[in-house]
Amino acid sequence: MFLSENTFREDALEIIQIEGEGEYLYNRDLLITEDDGYVVILIEKLRGLVYTRNTPENLAGDRLRDRVELYILRPGPAIENFKLSIKSHANAAFRATVGFFKRGFQKAYDELPCKLCKVVCRLVVSALLANLGIPYFDPENAAAAIDISQHHEVIATVLTDPSQARHELLAEVLGRIDWSLLNAVRVALDGANWLLDATDRLYGRACAMVGCCQTE
């Protein structure tokens, strides 16, 4: 049994990452206010039996709904309670990411340290692929590279013009992110021949392009 939780926080945004392996019950009540901005919640069932709430509000595409859950909450005046509940069995693994996009940012190099930049890029790509229903990890081999080249046109289109996202809530979230960072993600994906690996290397390259990380 293993669980890790890391929080990355700056003025514009905050991201919480939870990773678990083995038999575990994780519960957390998220009390969300208007000051939290848009909240993106991504739950990835990486391996084995993992049970969650999986409600109709799940924005993941049909091909991924049994492995991924994507929820996006728009800021509003009322306090909203989101119960994050994950139960994993022996030999299972999961990852949950909660992003609070408190306001827009147009200069990533001024707003994001390297680690947070890479976490943001991973969340953006994962949320986009989840919403499109494009498989982006292998439940049988977490270290395997995933070829998403057959979908590169639709992915590149959304990264270039977020208003083209399949769901308006995702479009609104992407619209808060520095356009140069989204473009850098597209360029990094193209440079990797649209292969996703299990490391942060691709996202490190994207963040280096906009000055958030050192060039690898």
Residue 27 lies in a domain: yes
How far, in Å, CA of 26 to CA of 52, rounded?
Answer: 10
| pLDDT at residue number 214 | 86
Element (H, E) at 4: strand 2-9
Residue 215 lies in a domain: no
Q: What's the pLDDT score for residue 142?
A: 64
Q: What is the mean pLDDT of the chain?
A: 90
Confidence tier at 2 by pLDDT (50, 70, 90):
confident
**Is 60 domain-assigned?**
yes
- pLDDT above 80: residue 199: no
Dist CA 94 CA 88 (whole Å)? 8
Distance CA 190, CA 188 (A): 5
Q: Is the pLDDT of residue 213 over 70?
A: yes
The answer to the question of residue 32 being in a domain is yes
> Which residue range forms the structural domain that includes residue 157?
2-209
Q: Could you tell me the pLDDT band of residue 94, with boundaries at 50, 70 and 90? A: very high
Confidence of residue 216 (pLDDT cuts 50, 70, 90): low
Residues 6+ apart with CB under 8 A from 198: 137, 142, 143, 144, 145
pLDDT band with cut points at 50, 70 and 90 for residue 215: confident
In a domain, residue 216? The reply is no
Residue 44 scores a pLDDT above 90: yes
Q: Considering the entire predicted model, what is its pTM?
A: 0.93
Counting Cα atoms < 13 Å in the Cβ hemisphere of 176 gives 21
The span from the CA of 15 to the CA of 187, in Å, is 24
Q: Is residue 25 part of a domain?
A: yes
pLDDT value of residue 197: 80
Q: What is the pLDDT of residues 141-182, one digit of tens each?
A: 766 788 999 999 999 999 999 999 999 999 999 999 999 999
pLDDT tier for residue 76 given thresholds of 50, 70 and 90:
confident
Residue 135 maps to a domain: yes
Residues 6+ apart with CB under 8 A from 175: 104, 162, 163
Q: Tally the domains of the chain.
A: 1
Helix (H, G, I), strand (E, B) or coil at 178: coil
pLDDT of 193 reads 92
What's the mean pLDDT in 46-61? 87
In a domain, residue 116? The reply is: yes
57 in Cβ contact with 107 (< 8 Å): no
Residue 139 has pLDDT above 80, yes or no: no
